[in-house]
Amino acid sequence: MEKKQPLLTIRPHFSPLLAALESMAVTMAGTMALSLLGGTVIFAVLSTIGLGRFISGGAIYGSLFVLGLALLPPLYYEIKRRAYRGTTYNFYDDCVEFHCFRYFINRRIGRIMFRDITNVTEHANVVQQREKITSIYLFAPSVTAAQH
C-alpha cells in the first residue's frame, strides 16, 4: 500500500533570539547545578583517594562554573536547533502526523485524528509575540491517555 502524500507539511520556525534567551536561563541553572553537584562529587573523590589536600575546593568549583558558562549556551542552542530541524507536522484529510522531540532529545512520532481533538489553544510569551511566533496546542484526551 502506498502512503498518501500530506495535504500540508509544517515545520516550526526556529528563532535564534528566543533560543539565545532560553539558553541564558538554562545556563544559569545548569551552571549552578554542575558546579555545586559536580564539584562536590569531584572533591569527595579526590579527598577519598588522598588528593584533596593538593587541589583546593574553590579551584574545582570555579573551574566547573567557568566550564558551564562556556559550554552550556552553545550546547543548548545547538540541541534546540537540531530538534526544530527534525520536527514536522503532516496534515492529511482526517489526521495530523507529527515527528517532534520532547525535551529536545526524546523523539516522538504520532498521529492525532481530527475527530479526537477537543480543544485548540494558542500560547505566546513576550519574546514569541515580538518574533510573531506562537505555540499551538491540540488537546485530544483519548490520545493523551493512550500515551501515558
Distance CA 2, CA 7 (A): 15
Q: What is the pLDDT of residues 92-122, one digit of tens each?
A: 999 999 888 766 678 888 889 989 989 999 8
Q: Are 41 and 57 in contact (CB under 8 A)?
A: no
Task: Supply the pLDDT for residue 148.
Answer: 41
Over residues 50-61, the pLDDT tens digits come to 887 888 888 889
For the chain, the residue count is 148
Q: Using 50, 70 and 90 to split pLDDT, how confident is the model at 146?
A: very low
Cβ neighbours for 53, distance < 8 A, ≥ 6 positions apart: none
Task: Tell me the DSSP string of 15-38.
Answer: -HHHHHHHHHHHHHHHHHHIIIII
Position 22 pLDDT exceeds 90 = no
Looking at residue 2, its pLDDT comes to: 65
What pLDDT, on the 0 to 100 scale, is given for residue 137? Answer: 86
The model's confidence at residue 71, banded by pLDDT at 50, 70 and 90, is very high
Give the model confidence (pLDDT) of 119-138 as tens digits. Answer: 999 888 888 888 888 888 88
